[in-house]
């Protein structure tokens, strides 16, 4: 079996990916999301509620659909990154990357030698992707660095030049906080739009795919139209909340 990352293949074709976000550590909700047809799905271990045991149940379910499975780790630490990869993630999103040194440490944890320093032990990844996994992992695993602080923006060109970096991911909630706004997605403030455009332009200049978290399909489409390689829309938890509120609101108001 040949190991191929469908997200990298999509980008090679010049297409933008639509990413789903999993905050609920449930096999059922993971399968519901995976069967919806997202290009990729991210299990959130930073602000979501999954732990390592949850990865071992959700990643196989996602893998059955051919959807690219990513994990946002709790922090830029090798023990988090390597275990998520060994469990079968084919991309890692690392939060709060602020410098080239942070990025180099991140990439090192994602890639086997000689390109990196990842320790060998793909306990489930080998089962999921085949015995050729070790030979093919470096060409397929995506290290994606989150850009969400002033320090990261100031050091952006240095971050983007780190060999092996697979992409950057704008975290608009934290980025808006450091710019003096309340946190949230789908920013419309001129300062935030200029900052988002600047990050995107620098990523394009260095040939690095840029990703962004969005709250609505309409905003996600806008971000695709200006050149983002991946857009995330909401999360399973937010979809559940919105659906429940909408159903109850209609029946209680008589607007069904």
| Whether 53 contacts 59, CB under 8 Å | no
Nearest of 47, 19, 36 to residue 231 by alpha carbon: 19
b/e map 131-149, b = 16+ CB within 10 Å: eebeebbbebbbbbbbbbb
Phi, psi at 4, each rounded to 5°: -130, 135
What sections of the chain are H helices per DSSP?
6-12, 27-35, 52-63, 78-87, 100-110, 125-129, 133-140, 150-154, 156-160, 172-178, 190-205, 217-225, 236-253
Select which of 47, 80, 198, 213 is catalytic: 47
- Asked if 213 is an active-site residue, the reply is no
Residue 170 contacts residue 147 (beta carbons within 8 Å): yes
Identify which of 247, 210, 243, 216 has the alpha carbon closest to the alpha carbon of residue 228.
Answer: 210
Distance of CA 96 to the CA centre of its chain: 13
Give the three-state DSSP class for 197: helix
Across-strand partners of 232?
A: 19, 213
Active-site positions read 47
């Amino acid at each position: 079996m040949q190991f191929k990352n469908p997200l990298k293949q999509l980008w090679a074709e010049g297409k933008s990916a639509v990413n789903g976000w999993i905050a609920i550590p449930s096999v059922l909700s993971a399968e519901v999301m995976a069967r919806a047809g997202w290009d990729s799905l991210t299990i959130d271990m930073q602000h979501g509620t999954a732990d390592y045991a949850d990865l071992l149940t959700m990643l196989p379910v996602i893998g059955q659909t051919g959807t690219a499975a990513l994990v946002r780790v709790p922090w830029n630490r090798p023990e988090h990154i390597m275990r998520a990869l060994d469990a079968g993630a084919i991309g890692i999103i690392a939060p709060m990357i602020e410098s080239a040194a942070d990025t180099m440490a991140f990439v090192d944890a994602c890639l086997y030698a000689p390109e990196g320093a990842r320790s060998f032990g793909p306990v489930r990844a080998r089962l999921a992707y085949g015995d050729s996994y070790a030979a093919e992992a470096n060409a397929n695993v995506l290290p994606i660095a989150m850009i969400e602080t002033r320090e990261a923006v100031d050091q952006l060109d240095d971050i983007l030049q780190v060999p092996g970096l697979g992409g950057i991911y704008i975290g608009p909630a934290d980025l808006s906080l450091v710019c003096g706004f309340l946190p949230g997605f789908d920013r419309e403030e001129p300062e935030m739009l200029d900052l988002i455009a600047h990050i995107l332009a620098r990523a394009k200049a260095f040939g690095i795919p840029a990703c962004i978290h969005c709250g609505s399909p309409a905003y996600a489409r806008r971000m695709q139209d200006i050149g983002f390689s991946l857009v995330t829309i909401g999360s399973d938890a937010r979809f559940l909340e919105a659906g429940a509120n909408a159903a109850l609101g209609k029946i209680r108001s008589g607007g069904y």
